[in-house]
Amino acid sequence: MGILDRIREGLQRTRDKVAQSIEAVFHRRDSRFYQEIEEILISADVGPVVSKEIVAELQTWEKAHPGATSTESFAHLETALAKVFSEITSWEASPSRPAPLVILLVGVNGVGKTTTAGKLASRFKEEGKSVILGAADTFRAAAIEQLRKWGERLDVPVVHQKPGADPASVAFDTVRAARARGLDVAIIDTAGRLQNKQNLMSELKKIGSIIGREAPDSPVEVLLVLDATIGQNALSQLDEFMKIAPVSGLILTKLDGTSRGGVVIALARRHPIPVRFIGVGEKADDLLPFDPAAFVRSILHTH
């Protein structure tokens, strides 16, 4: 299956909610046209603010193009939605030795950080890159075990210490090992649950400065993992994490399990931070690069 088909398949639930209704609204085209489009977008968690903006934009465009056909109008809606992602720069994960690319995965409890660490490792391996994983979630023994299992399955080394060890020390070991072995990518999993925000902030800060010190020439990506099934709450998680870590990209997980995938659009509008990947399942290859046009197309088109 090609990548576009996989994106389409992963977004099926959201498409089921949106595509047919939008098609029907365009077909009916009655006095409630704009309002109905807005309602459909909101129902898919695009969010009230962005939904309103998009519809206003469609309305303005239609006024300026009185002779436009329904197909052209629909195409404009699609363009307007994809344009929300215009801030996105391409993923420049082309690490050059001897500086490994360092990826730090952050996010609250249960969003899919560890699974995403495994999926990312698998992706890089497929691309022929050498990878190392770091189990800096030392909070629970099970978390370390979970990452080790991914490592075994993928034949990727996992740096770990005892449960309760200093996460920054694990990050240090991981980056150091990556450099010593001349590896391409170091992926560091972190804990989502610390007693309070202050702890989490100082923890991430400490990890960040250790990476900066140990690998000053390394590109560092701080990827915030967000669970798409929680809808608009993902926005407040993004706001919160922006305050405590230099988030450079987003990963939206569990899109396969929600009809509210429109939240990705709301997130993209909230802060100019690129969405890097989307998770569409639990398996190693269920992490797909984010493609705005394909994403919007997968949501809007019934076929």
Ligand X SMILES: Nc1nc2c(ncn2[C@@H]2O[C@H](COP(=O)(O)OP(=O)(O)OP(=O)(O)O)[C@@H](O)[C@H]2O)c(=O)[nH]1
Q: How near is the Cβ of 192 to ligand X at its closest, in Å? A: 3
281 binds, among Mg ion, ligand X, none (CB under 5 to 8 A by kind): ligand X
Torsion of CA 281, 283, 286, 287, to 10 degrees: 110
Q: Report how far residue 185's alpha carbon sits from residue 134's, in angstroms, rounded to the nearest whole number.
A: 11
Using rule CB under 6 A, residue 199 touches ligand X: no
Q: Is 134 in the site for ligand X (CB under 6 A)?
A: no
Task: Check residue 138 for interaction with Mg ion (CB under 5 A).
Answer: no
Among 134, 261, 281, 292, binds ligand X (CB under 6 A): 281
Count, residues in the chain? 303
What angle do the packed helices 292-300 and 12-28 form, to 10 degrees?
60
- The answer to whether 258 contacts ligand X (rule: CB under 6 A) is no
d(CA 34, CA 26): 10
Structure tokens at 115: 């699974």
Residues 146-175 that bind ligand X (CB under 6 A): none
**Quick one: what does residue 282 bind among Mg ion, ligand X, none, with the CB cut-off 5 to 8 Å set by partner type?**
ligand X
Question: Which region, judged by CB under 6 A, interacts with ligand X, from 16-24, 43-51, 75-83, 253-261?
Answer: 253-261
Answer for which of 28, 49, 72, 110 binds ligand X (CB under 6 A) is 110
Q: By the 8 A CB rule, do 197 and 244 touch?
A: yes
Please answer whether residues 134 and 173 qualify as being in contact, where contact means their C-beta atoms are separated by less than 8 angstroms.
Answer: yes
Distance CA 294, CA 4 (A): 7
In whole angstroms, the minimum distance from the beta carbon of 27 to Mg ion comes to 46
Nearest-approach distance from CB 113 to Mg ion, in angstroms: 5
Q: If 0-12 CB within 10 Å is exposed, 13-18 middle and 19+ buried, where does residue 152 land?
A: exposed
How far apart CA 189 and CA 105 sit, in angstroms, is 5
Of 114, 122, 174, 218, the one binding Mg ion by CB under 5 A = 114
| Residues in touch with ligand X (CB under 6 A) | 107, 109-115, 137, 143, 192, 253-254, 256-257, 279-282, 286
| Residues in touch with Mg ion (CB under 5 A) | 113-114, 143
